[in-house]
Structure 1
Amino acid sequence: MPTPPPFVPPVRRIGLLQPLAWLALAWRDMARAGWISFGHGLALTLFGAAILWVGRDRFWLMAGALSGFLVVAPVLATSFYALSRAIERREPADSAVVWRTWTRWQGTRGREYWCLVHFGLLLALAATGWVLTSAALIIAFAPQPVLKPMDFVLHVMLAREGWLFEAWMALGSLLAAPIFASSVVAMPLLLDRRATVLQAVLTSWQAVVTNPLPMAIWAALILGFTLLGLGSLLLGLIPIMPMLGHASWHAYRDLVDVSGLPAREPEGAEGAQ
């Protein structure tokens, strides 16, 4: 008998400017979570700064590590989803929630325990594919060898003639679109409900297909705030990372009707409550 297709929860239609409401709700959650939310933002920012420092004179190393960091950000933001979930359920949003999330959220047996890891590895693989494709394009068409970050600025970004930088940007956008579509609600769904990676990815795609314009605005907001954080010597990422993480939880809650999927509770959470 043929295998039935996986159950994909229904996806709601949202208003064009609903992503702005997610950002407002994110600031509310940040205020309620307090230092634990901003502390995670600081930790992720320091991690990004360490990547830039290590790769400061090695362009492809920096590009690979930074691309991986940005692509795997939905996994790194898991703590923010858990804090917003606790706030929504009127539970304490503290370090205990974060600890349970990373150590006991999915129980201790079965393949479900590894679904977050599996999804993170898929995103890391996508980031690696982007770096290799980008390197092939630059190496093949750059007028001078690109070995350091300044080489990329001089010979690609500021080149007076040619189309290389425009092609590089277009290629990046082309490859980023399916990554965004696959991950926009996948991680919050995996955290909140007993779903497989395939169900989570299909749900994310359904959310984008059902709401193309609002999700395009959401993607533009994520990109714009990320660039703002990077352009502020990374200092802006301290509040931006929590804001985008908490907002992603509210995006998931607005977009997906999860009533048909069983809730996922961390082992020992009942006792903690």
Structure 2
Amino acid sequence: MTDRLLRYREEPQIAGGRRDRNIIKRKLPSIRKIGLGDLRSALAAGMEDFLAMPSHVVFLSIVYPVFGLFVALISADRDVMPLLIPLTTGFALIGPFAALGLYELSRRREFGLDVSWKHAFAIWHAPSRASIAILASGLLMILLAWLFVAHTLYQVLDVDPAVSLPRFFYTLFMTSKGQTLLIAGATSGFLFAAVVLAVSVVSFPILLDRNISAANAVLTSLRVVRLNPVPISIWGIIVALALALGSIPLFVGLPVVIPVIGHATWHLYRHLVE
């Protein structure tokens, strides 16, 4: 029974002309149209998974040291201060990959299998691990592109360099150049986030669930967005607001927010993909 439940579904890898492309299209997973009720259901299931599994302990032991190290770096080097906000917000760009372990825990719990924190690392045994690595590399490239754009905006707008964190935030929020930088950064950051949401809303969960190529996983994710533009947009807003609230103050809410959103994303995938 366990072997049957854990068996990954394979998708034929076909390449060739127009006829072959039509075959690929037919072989892609079927997707569903969802409503706001499905978003609520996914969030409720994510909270249930969070309360049932100690996944938050993992994030308690990881999030704080990472951000502590980052704050120490910012305090020590004023040249890195302009990247403070891009780096903290950029976490969401690689979030779909970072939450892979949470997807796996939800997948195992859904099948009634044994679940422990060690199973969060079982993703590396998935038959689609090569596709996962390819897609993760793509998200990393998007994150680096975002940091490059953010730093370029800082230089182009010629914002006064800060000598301390308080001075940096004063310049950012209380000066015209700083406010312009905030608006330009928020606009460009929204575009990067929209791209990541479109290509990854179900791509990483489906790579855990099926033996499928990275290209077809992304294509399925794009089809999901095209069929459900309003619910997926609302989902993106929910994730962004949750991460923002979890980050105030001093990121203390992230050890709860990140696992809940991660588990909920798995259940959203179940609603979206047959």
- TM-score tier after normalising by the smaller chain length: 0.7 to 0.9
- Give 1:212's aligned residue: 229
Deviations 1:40-61 (A, max 9, x none): 2213422344333323442245
Q: CA separation in 2, counterparts of 1:136 and 1:90?
A: 50
1:105 maps onto 2:126 in alignment: yes
Measured on the aligned residues, the alpha-carbon RMSD in Å equals 2.3
- Give 1:232's aligned residue: 249
Asked if the contact 2:224–2:272 (Cα under 8 Å) also holds between the matched residues in 1, the reply is yes
**CA shift for structure 1 position 247:** 0.3
Q: CA separation in 2, counterparts of 1:236 and 1:143?
A: 31
Match of 1:32 among 52, 56, 62: 52
**CA shift for structure 1 position 221:** 0.8
- Give 1:131's aligned residue: 147
1:184 maps onto 2:205 in alignment: no
Deviations 1:197-243 (A, max 9, x none): 11111111111111111111111110111011111311101111110
Deviations 1:72-111 (A, max 9, x none): 1211111111111011111112234224224x233xxxxx
Asked if the contact 1:64–1:128 (Cα under 8 Å) also holds between the matched residues in 2, the reply is no
Asked if the contact 2:87–2:147 (Cα under 8 Å) also holds between the matched residues in 1, the reply is no
- Give 1:66's aligned residue: 88
Unaligned runs of 5+ in 2: 1-15
Unaligned runs of 5+ in 1: 107-111, 258-273
**CA shift for structure 1 position 23:** 1.2
- Taking structure 1 as reference, are residues 120 and 63 closer, same or farther at Cα in structure 2, changes over 3 Å only? farther
**CA shift for structure 1 position 129:** 0.4
Q: CA separation in 1, counterparts of 2:83 and 2:157?
A: 19
- Taking structure 1 as reference, are residues 152 and 86 closer, same or farther at Cα in structure 2, changes over 3 Å only? same
1:84 maps onto 2:109 in alignment: no
Deviations 1:122-167 (A, max 9, x none): 1010011011111111211134236765455233332247633222
- Give 1:10's aligned residue: 30
Asked if the contact 2:94–2:139 (Cα under 8 Å) also holds between the matched residues in 1, the reply is yes
Residue identity in the other structure for 2:100: T
Asked if the contact 2:32–2:273 (Cα under 8 Å) also holds between the matched residues in 1, the reply is yes
Asked if the contact 1:141–1:164 (Cα under 8 Å) also holds between the matched residues in 2, the reply is yes
Q: CA separation in 2, counterparts of 1:169 and 1:95?
A: 36
Alignment of 1:134-149 (within 5 A): 134-145=150-161, 149=165
The size of the alignment, in residue pairs, is: 249
1:241 maps onto 2:258 in alignment: yes
Residue identity in the other structure for 1:131: L
Q: CA separation in 1, counterparts of 2:72 and 2:39?
A: 33
Asked if the contact 2:83–2:151 (Cα under 8 Å) also holds between the matched residues in 1, the reply is no
**CA shift for structure 1 position 115:** 1.8
The alignment's TM-score, normalised by the length of structure 2, stands at 0.82
Deviates more, 1:82-91 or 1:134-143: 134-143
- Taking structure 1 as reference, are residues 126 and 211 closer, same or farther at Cα in structure 2, changes over 3 Å only? same
- Taking structure 1 as reference, are residues 93 and 169 closer, same or farther at Cα in structure 2, changes over 3 Å only? same
Q: CA separation in 2, counterparts of 1:235 and 1:210?
A: 36
Q: CA separation in 2, counterparts of 1:205 and 1:249?
A: 17
Q: CA separation in 2, counterparts of 1:128 and 1:12?
A: 33
Which structure features the higher share of helix residues? 2
Identity %: 27
Q: CA separation in 1, counterparts of 2:164 and 2:92?
A: 20
Asked if the contact 1:74–1:187 (Cα under 8 Å) also holds between the matched residues in 2, the reply is yes
- What SS class does the counterpart of residue 23 from structure 1 fall into? helix
- Give 1:163's aligned residue: 180
**CA shift for structure 1 position 66:** 3.4
Match of 2:191 among 174, 186, 204: 174
- Give 2:136's aligned residue: 120
- What SS class does the counterpart of residue 55 from structure 1 fall into? helix
